Chain A
Amino acid sequence: MDDHKGSPELFMFLASTVHDMKNSISVLGGTLENLLDHGKGPEQGDPAYPQMAHMLYQTRRLSDNLMQLLALYKEVGKPTYPFEPNTVPVRELVQQVAGQARVLLESKQIALELEFPADLLWTFDEDLVIGVLAHAVNNAVRYTRDRIRLTIVERDGLLELAVADNGMGFPPSMLEAGALVGQGVNFLTNSSGLGLFFASEVARMHKRRQVAGAIRLENGGPLGGGRFVLTLP
């Protein structure tokens, strides 16, 4: 049980290749952000602008997928993965998620609405939760018309973090996938499966007094579209 499946050489090779790819994607995404941020803005009518915005969206997807693949390969949720819960002000969590999404949302003229308790502190693995929320926001960009809302509330001793949009809602196949993942089935059959699976593993790692975190997908949220919910004990 101590050994990695497959040869260690192959694992080392894959890991270093992924490092390399992540560096390249970081540079791609960062450069696109700078261009979009310092560029003329969508209202100037430059035809390249929406295309660049879409490139940024795709870059984010790639980057998220790589991060999640690597984390899952390292068995997130298993004892070999470094899980580090810390006390984090919810305000700072929101700052970081919104900061990551800012340029992409601006370039696509999507408003991000934020609702959170100003002075609440919570204990969780900050990098993992930021990863899950940023991915949920990025996913909502695909479904929304022009609004995304990140709502964080404390309810019955749980922290509930929800990303909602005003699009058409999730297709039935995804709602089903979300429910299956929620039951703990190892589900990885369509393109959205990886993100959901990662999110559910992250949720499950968070435990407090025998209560574990969870995720769920809903339709008809506050903006009438889809809603991704992560609860943390």
Chain B
Amino acid sequence: MTTTYITASGAPSADIADVDWAEKRYLIVDDFVGIRQLLRESLRNIGAKHIDQASSGGEAMTLLLRTHYDVVLCDFNLGEGKNGQQVLEEARVRNLMIPSSVWLMVSAEKSVESVMGAAEHQPDAYIIKPITEGVLLTRLNRVWHKKQVFREIDAAYIEKDYLRAAKLCDAQVAQHKVHEIDLMRMKATLLLKAGEPDKARAVYERLLEEREYNWARTGLGKIRMANGDHEAARQMFQGVIAENRFYIDAYDQLAAALTLLGRHEDACGVLEKAAKLSPNSVPRQRSLGNTALRLGNVQLAEHAFRKCIAIGEYSIARTVDAYLGMARVCGQKGDIKEALRLLAAAQRDFPGDLVQLRSKITEGLVYHESGDFRRARKSGDELEALLEREPKRPQTATCIEMATLLFAVGVKDAPVELLCHVIRNNHDNPVLLEEVQKIFDKARMGDEGMEYIAAARREANEIMNKGVLLWKTGKLAEAVEWMRDARVRLPDNMRILFNSAQMLINHMQLHGYDEALMIEANGVLMHVDELAAGQQRFAQLVEQLQMLIPGRAQTPEAIDAEIDALRGVEPAA
């Protein structure tokens, strides 16, 4: 069907029937007063009554704290201080936007910098100046429509019910062809999160038959990388970059693949290039700093950490890692005073026990690397005393760093205890076992280390087997209780956590819904997700758990029926 308009005014106007744009609250952010007036005029013309304005990122934050806006029109270049992307990031992280809010990023030109926000903080749309009413209204309506289409999917995503969300994507594609690509992209992401890489790969491959989407090609590379085929992944990321040199995600992934291949120099080079292309990413500068530090390239590490601290100043992604890394850099340059100043700043600006602990470890490393063994030993003693006082152990990476330092300054028992803790909690992770063995070797405790590792593994296995035996022999309540204790002794052991959650779910499947057990199971799974996201078993258990909630569909067939029903239902305004 072809539509023909022959009118004096010429324009078929955008369809505004389904959304009431007049009653929404608007915020215009632009440092140029003339543009603000022009935008206000455009908004008035589409009926808007409640319009606020800000001339800087700081002013915008003040207003965003006070009012929940339905629509934010924000310029990317805001002069001094935060840029538009940083305002958006902070507004998202601080939950100043309601889920239905629309964020339109405005820029004078289409540049890599202005359309390359952090993946998790993308605006709803980008608009290039000059903005006309027609473009504004068309984009607003489109974003609104897309938000309706994604509402159920986003809700399932937030509940981490990834498999259900992926099914909802399929249901919506049938209804809304215009969002097919975005829905399929979301579906692939969800399948990856649910630990279903083969299904995600099928989605990407089908999309690539149509067009060369960078994100689909990069997604395929990520799957290869997760499967351990690091060389194939490296080639795919390299291919994406050859085609599209601005596609920054491929650089970060390429650097990760090179690191896994042990090509640290090359990884560092890639990160350096990516940081040159898009310097305003805190995580990227942090990776660059850490990689350079490991290679002993003090100058590059210094540059990266400095940049990381500078951009972090206005960003919610600000990280203590930059301060700790910079302190190491200063230590290696012999500037102990500056290193200590940075560590003090880190503890002041990032309160919390973990940062205190990590600062203490870094302090010891700084002394040790600069050759002040007496002070390094003193830091070690303090850490040792701290470990005696506080029974709770930090994350694996921090434990390993601490053990390395303690061995280096001549402490024996405390690092052994730390490494045994690491093994007990990761008893089936061969890569980590090897790393721990190397630390023992370096401390000239190779044989003893081997025995410690074997004993710690045995202990974890025995605890696990006892729980599973109770479960298999029908003593479900006892099994649940046993695993509860096991979680206290081995708080970060994935297999114990998964089995524990499985038993709690099984208990409810057999004996009915129980809110306390539901909360407990949910807590265990969220802890697993924090330790290592994207596990297949996690997604499966979350799905089982969701099905237990009263009022939710109980069987896969019932879920399908529920989704079918959704297809016919028009989303409410």
Contact = CB atoms under 8 A, between A and B. Distances in A.
Contact of B273 (A2, A80, A106, A208): A2
Given A27-B34, A87-B181, A92-B142, A100 B134 contact: yes
A23 B129 contact: yes
Interface in A50-95: 63, 67, 70-71, 74, 78-89, 91-92, 94-95
User: Which label, helix, strand, loop or mixed, suits the secondary structure of the B interface?
Assistant: mixed
Interface stretch (A29-37, A168-176, A186-194): A29-37
B276 to A, nearest CB: 7
Nearest to A83: B244
A115 interface: yes
Contacts of A18: 108-109
B391 interface: no
B112 A82 contact: yes
A119 interface: yes
A127 B105 CA distance: 13
Contacts of B465: none
Contact of A81 (B112, B210, B243): B112
Contact of B12 (A19, A67, A95): A95
B273 A30 contact: no
Contacts of B130: 22, 25-26, 29-30, 63
Contacts, number: 168
Given A79-B244, A83-B244, A114 B12 contact: yes
Contact of B246 (A30, A82, A130): A82
Contacts of A113: 4-6, 10
B138 interface: yes
B177 A81 contact: no
Interface in B294-353: none
Contacts of A95: 11-14, 134, 138
B3 A91 contact: yes
A99 B135 contact: yes
Given A30-B41, A121-B177, 12 more contacts: A23-B32, A26-B35, A26-B131, A27-B34, A63-B130, A67-B109, A95-B11, A99-B135, A114-B10, A115-B4, A123-B181, A207-B211
Nearest to B243: A79
A-B pairs, top 4 by smallest CB distance, nearest first, are A99-B134, A79-B245, A112-B10, A27-B34
B455 interface: no
Interface residues of B, number: 59
Nearest to B4: A115
B3 A98 contact: no
B411 to A, nearest CB: 47
A71 B108 CA distance: 11
Contacts of B210: 208
B110 to A, nearest CB: 6
A106 B11 CA distance: 11
Contacts of B111: 15, 74, 82
B128 interface: yes
A121 to B, nearest CB: 6
A121 B176 CA distance: 11
Nearest to A208: B211
B1 interface: yes
Contacts of A153: 2
